[in-house]
A and B are shown apart, each in its own frame.
Chain A
Amino acid sequence: GAIGLVPRMADAQSGLEPNTLAEIRNYNNFYEFGTGKGDPAANAHQLVTSPWSITVDGMVDRPGDYALGDLLAGLTVEDRIYRFRCVEAWSMVIPWNGIELADILNKVGVQAGARYVAFETVVQPENMIGVQRRVLDFPYVEGLRLDEAMHPLTIMATGIYGEPIANQNGAPIRLVVPWKYGFKSIKSIVRITLTDEEPPTSWNIANAREYGFYSNVNPNVDHPRWSQATERRIGSGLFAARHDTLMFNGYPEVAPLYEGMDLSVFI
């Protein structure tokens, strides 16, 4: 409940030293702009982010193509300093500005039978040089269970450090689910679909053995090719120490979402 949530969130967030904006903007995975960590910073300026509209469809009361400003009008933008843990075993701390996804979903009206939310990233082939290389089957798609999507920690970010989110970080709007590996936090979203079936997700399509639908940060379940027990915090230089990775990335308040599930099976 909300009462238990607040102090634990404060605990988890105390002592979090955010990475610099330069670090956040120059070490990215956004394969539509290339697979190198510096490629998105070099190439993402070509992305056209204005005008931007999001198609909301599926099991909602008020479906439609929403201009971004209309979809977010009247909703509260909050500051959230979150750990960000990549599946590649590195991490950052990012001061997001965003809106709780639950607020957006409540605005469009989730119908009773909906159980999942699916998301889709924009495809602008002429502006996204990685799309032609077909590293993944684009458009990039992701999904959450409805209760994960409605959790107060889950936000749609529109800024970092009070500045509009940079293209390489997923402009103009992206998902942020801090207890899951970074690739779940899909960027540059153009479609949100409410559905009663578990939606396909890009990395799971590419390699189901390595990337599950849930992809919760879990130090006890290794990636088949590398350990998830520790992580390296970005920005600590050539002699950076490794740190133990925390269950649910240090957000234990989400554990009740997975009660009764074997998290070594539901990866």
Chain B
Amino acid sequence: MTVSARINGALRRVPAWPLYLLAAAYGAWEFWRALTQQGPYLVEPINVLERSYGEIALILLVAGLVVTPLRQWSGVNLIKFRRAIGLCAFFFVVAHFLVFAVLDVQSLGRVWTEIVKRPYVTVGMLAFVLLIPLAVTSNNLAIRKLGPATWKQLHKLSYIAVILGGVHYLWLARGFQITPLVYLGLGIGLVALRYKHLVRRKQPA
């Protein structure tokens, strides 16, 4: 038995639902630390919490795009966890937006001004909006109703969302910073893999 088959066999016994609990617990834990101003939240919890939720959302979006190439290259199949990864990413995007709107900017008028006037907010907001139909259709009923082909097309919006998320992060950084570039690079790389795949399939064998 190959290593990947052994891993897949072990994973068959692991359910996906604990991921939701883990994500909720992590989000609540970070909120608690911000509320009580512990660790990195010691001095200025609002900005740090905003960044923390944004970053974990970006990590999960990237992780969701890793599932397919990982299966193709190593045979390790995480596909049954992908819905949970994607939905958790969306939950953290919502949490990120709420911290921005309620705790940081603090008024609906100013939220709207920020979205319209600040390109990095516009880009982040666009990524958020693109993820809404994906979150709504991340269930078996939606797949049946849309049909697998349409559903797959629709969920390619995640490619755009992850790149917009990386641009959003890079755009708000001051000076030349590495971390946002890494996320943007990963996002573009993972999307490019799909593009190469599509091109290859179109060529005659």
Contact between B119 and A37 (Cβ–Cβ < 8 Å)? no
7 A-B pairs in the complex with CB atoms less than 8 angstroms apart: A26-B43, A38-B42, A225-B120, A226-B114, A232-B104, A239-B103, A242-B105
What is the chain B residue whose CB lies nearest that of A26?
B43
Interface residues of B (CB under 8 A from A): 34-35, 37, 40-49, 103-106, 110, 113-114, 117-120, 171-178
Measured in the bound complex, the distance between the Cα atoms of B111 and A227 in whole Å is 11
Give the complex CA separation of A136 and B48 in angstroms.
23
A45 is an interface residue with CB less than 8 A from chain B = no
B43 contacts A27, CB within 8 Å? Answer: yes
Residues in A whose Cβ lies below 8 Å from that of B46: 232, 238, 240
A208 to chain B minimum Cβ distance, whole angstroms, is: 14
* Complex Cα gap A203–B3 (Å): 52
Query: Are the CB atoms of A90 and B175 closer together than 8 Å?
Result: no
Question: Does A49 count as interface, using CB distance less than 8 angstroms?
Answer: no
Cβ distance B108 to chain A, nearest Cβ, rounded Å: 14
Q: Nearest Cβ distance between residue B5 and chain A, in whole angstroms? A: 42
Nearest-CB residue, chain A, relative to B171: A225
Q: Measured between alpha carbons, how far is A237 from B105 in the docked complex, in Å?
A: 15
Of the residues B40, B173, B178, contact of A38 by C-beta under 8 Å: B40
**The one of A31, A88, A238 that contacts B49, using a Cβ cutoff of 8 Å:** A238
| Interface contact A227-B176, CB-CB below 8 Å | no
Expressed in whole angstroms, the minimum distance between the Cβ of A169 and any Cβ of chain B is 13
How far is it, in angstroms, between the C-alpha of A177 and the C-alpha of B111 when the chains are bound?
32
Contacts of A206 in B (CB 8 A): 175
The answer to the question of A235 belonging to the interface, with a C-beta cut-off of 8 Å to chain B, is yes
Instruction: Choose one: A23, A225, A242; the contact of B118 (CB below 8 Å).
Output: A225
Q: How many residues of A contact B (CB 8 A)?
A: 28
Q: A226-B118, A227-B114, A239-B103 are in contact. Are A234 and B178 (CB under 8 A)?
A: no
For residues 106 through 141 of chain A, which have their beta carbon under 8 Å from a beta carbon of chain B? 133-136
CA distance in complex: A262, B177 (Å): 33
Q: Quick check: is A35 within 8 A (CB to CB) of the other chain?
A: yes
What CA separation (Å) do A136 and B174 show in the bound complex?
9
* Set of chain A residues within 8 Å of B110, measured between Cβ atoms: 227
A26 to chain B: which residues have CB within 8 Å?
42-43
Q: Which residues of A contact B178 (CB under 8 A)?
A: 133
Q: Decide: A35 near B47, CB < 8 A? Known: A225-B119, A225-B120.
A: no
Contact of B177 among A35, A225, A232 (CB under 8 A): A35
Question: Nearest chain B CB to A137's CB is how many angstroms away?
Answer: 10
Q: Which residues of A, 69-96, contact B by the 8 Å Cβ criterion?
A: 88, 90
Given A225-B171, A227-B113, A235-B43, residue A134 in contact with residue B103 (CB < 8 A): no
Query: How far apart are the CA atoms of A145 and B118 in the complex, in Å?
Result: 31
Answer yes or no: A261 CB below 8 A from chain B CBs: no
Separation in Å of the B123 CB from the closest CB of chain A?
A: 11
Q: A265 — which chain B residues lie within 8 A by C-beta?
A: none
Chain B min CB distance to A229 (Å): 9
Task: With both chains docked as a complex, state the minimum distance between the C-beta of A89 and any C-beta of chain B, in angstroms.
Answer: 10
User: Would A238 and B172 count as touching, CB distance under 8 A?
Assistant: no
Given contacts A27-B43, A225-B120, contact A237 B171 (CB under 8 A): no
Q: Please tell me if the beta carbons of A136 and B175 are within 8 angstroms of each other in the complex.
A: yes
Task: Assess whether B175 is in contact with A238, with CB atoms less than 8 Å apart.
Answer: no
- The 3 lowest CB-CB distance pairs between A and B, nearest first, are A27-B43, A135-B175, A238-B45
| Residues on the A chain within 8 Å of B47, using CB | 37, 90, 232
